[in-house]
């Protein structure tokens, strides 16, 4: 014990010395005059440690609660940032890299995206029709309480779809022959300039020519509908050629240039591609005659008047195998991805020979030697040059 200072008490009082100022409550009379207060007065000291301990515990709990709230809020904020910004940007970068490695894959990406959209539309329509089901009522209730997160209209989603569309348009515009041009320019991220004049490369390939017969008369009769007419035929030609591992290169009015690349393939795959090129032309011819869409032109009055009542849409085909230079032809203002070589000219001559001999398909000797013996036996020799 020690003597209490600040008061007039002359005797010592028992008081703990280990208390901090915050743990002591000092109470003295408030209604004394200054003279009475200076003369003598009572002072009471109270131990506040139990209350201080409770306040400390509550302060610790409040601090822990605030830390938990901050951590959870940070997680939610980071989740939104990841879902709305970071992950879409990463997906866009990955898609750009994928298209840079293989520009033609953009078409598959677009098809997959379109199939997903159609599936979601179908699912939404089916759910609306099944509105009387118990599970559907429960789903509607949950969707009303927790609305689904629709990010399709977000800027990042729009950018993702735009990248896929641009890649698809590049693949459609340049085709397989221009894949190297697109790939080279998209990999060159150190500059924003476009270098379209990429040196050509030599490839071994099978060149096919498909020509629409009586196209001049069709143009005169159909007038503005001739584009629709050509596109309907091109849909059949391009679709079957792609299905049989070929590639459509370009259209020259009534003629389609079709290519099967065989560079870097072993003998078995070369033979397989040669067989596929021949079979695809037969399949195209059959599909043209069986198409309900194209069959409408048989009854067209103008075409019947010019070409007779037995008019049918028909195509002529020519096939030749050899080498070609694959690359860009043009200038900095306009380029076309194409194939240049005597092989292309010979394939045109083979196509013209189909009209001379009155057949739909003429195949050069090089293609026959490349294809399988079983398929070669089904072809007959027309002539020797």
Longest Cα–Cα distance of the chain, Å, equals 142
CA distances (Å), origin 330, targets 40, 67, 82, 173, 334: 112, 66, 45, 15, 6
Q: Give burial (CB, 10 Å; 0-12/13-18/19+) of 204.
A: middle
State how far the Cα of 292 lies from the Cα of 267, in Å rounded to an integer.
39
Average pLDDT by consecutive 10-residue portion of the chain (385 residues)? Answer: 45 56 80 84 79 88 94 85 82 82 76 78 65 60 57 70 81 71 67 69 92 90 89 92 89 90 91 94 92 88 85 92 86 80 91 90 92 91 81
* pLDDT digit string, tens, across residues 191-226: 666 666 777 788 999 999 999 998 988 898 888 889
Q: Determine whether 45 is exposed, middle or buried from the number of CB atoms within 10 Å of its CB (0-12, 13-18, 19+).
A: middle
Q: Quick one: pLDDT at residue 15?
A: 57
Round the CA-based radius of gyration of the chain to a whole number and report it. Answer: 42
pLDDT of residue 103: 74
In the numeric block, the tokens 């060149």 are attached to 207
List CB contacts of 360: < 8 A, sequence separation 6 or more.
285, 314, 315, 316, 317, 354
CA dist., res. 321 & res. 370, Å (int): 9
Residues 6+ apart with CB under 8 A from 302: 221, 222
CA 177 to chain centre: 21
CA distance 239 to 85: 38
Q: Render pLDDT for 311-328 as a digit per residue (tens, 0 to 9).
A: 888 999 999 999 998 887
User: Where in the chain is CATH 3.30.70.1230?
Assistant: 202-376
Q: Cα 299 vs. chain centroid, distance in angstroms? A: 42
Do residues 163 and 95 lie in contact, with contact meaning Cβ atoms separated by under 8 Å? yes
Contact between 314 and 218 (Cβ < 8 Å): no
Domain 202-376, CATH? 3.30.70.1230
Residue of 280, 284, 287, 252 lying closest to 367 (CA atoms)? 280
Task: Say which residues have a Cβ less than 8 Å from residue 335's Cβ, sequence separation at least 6.
Answer: 181, 196, 197, 328, 329
* pLDDT at res. 210: 94
Amino acid 75: pLDDT: 85
In tens, the pLDDT along 271-306 reads: 999 999 999 999 999 999 998 999 888 888 888 888
Q: Which pLDDT does position 13 carry in this prediction?
A: 39
Residue 190 is predicted with a pLDDT of: 61
Q: What pTM was computed for the model? A: 0.66
Q: Which among 233, 235, 237 has a CA at the least distance from the CA of 209? A: 237
């Amino acid at each position: 014990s020690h003597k209490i200072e600040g008061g007039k008490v002359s005797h010592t009082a028992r008081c703990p010395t280990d208390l901090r100022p915050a743990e002591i409550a000092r109470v003295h009379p408030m209604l004394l005059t200054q003279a009475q207060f200076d003369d003598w007065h009572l002072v009471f000291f109270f131990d506040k440690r139990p209350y201080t301990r409770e306040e400390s515990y509550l302060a610790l709990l409040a601090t822990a609660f605030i830390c938990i709230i901050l951590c959870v809020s940070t997680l939610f904020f980071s989740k939104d940032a990841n879902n709305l910004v970071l992950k879409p940007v990463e997906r866009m970068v990955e898609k750009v890299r994928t298209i840079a490695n293989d520009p033609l894959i953009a078409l598959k990406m677009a098809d997959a995206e379109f199939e997903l959209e159609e599936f979601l539309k179908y699912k939404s329509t089916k759910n609306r029709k099944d509105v009387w089901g118990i599970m559907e009522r429960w789903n509607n209730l949950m969707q009303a309480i927790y609305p689904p997160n629709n990010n399709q209209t977000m800027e990042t989603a729009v950018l993702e779809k735009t990248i896929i569309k641009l890649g698809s348009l590049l693949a459609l515009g340049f085709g397989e022959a221009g894949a190297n041009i697109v790939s080279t320019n998209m990999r060159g991220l150190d500059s924003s300039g476009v270098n379209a004049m990429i040196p050509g490369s030599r490839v071994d390939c099978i060149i096919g020519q498909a020509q629409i017969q009586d196209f001049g008369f069709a143009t005169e009769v159909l007038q503005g509908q001739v584009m629709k007419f050509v596109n309907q035929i091109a849909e059949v030609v391009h679709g079957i050629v792609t299905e049989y591992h070929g590639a459509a290169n370009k259209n020259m009015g009534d003629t389609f240039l079709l290519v099967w690349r065989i560079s870097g393939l072993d003998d078995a795959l070369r033979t397989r591609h040669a067989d596929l090129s021949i079979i695809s032309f037969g399949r195209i011819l059959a599909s043209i005659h069986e198409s309900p869409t194209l069959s409408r032109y048989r009854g067209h009055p103008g075409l019947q008047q010019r070409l007779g009542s037995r008019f049918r849409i028909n195509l002529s085909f020519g096939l030749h195998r050899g080498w070609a230079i694959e690359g860009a032809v043009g200038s900095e203002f306009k380029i076309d991805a194409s194939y240049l070589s005597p092989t292309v000219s010979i394939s045109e001559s083979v196509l013209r020979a189909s009209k001379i001999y009155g057949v739909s398909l003429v195949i050069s000797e090089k293609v026959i030697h490349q294809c399988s013996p079983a398929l070669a036996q089904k072809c007959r020799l027309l002539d020797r040059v």
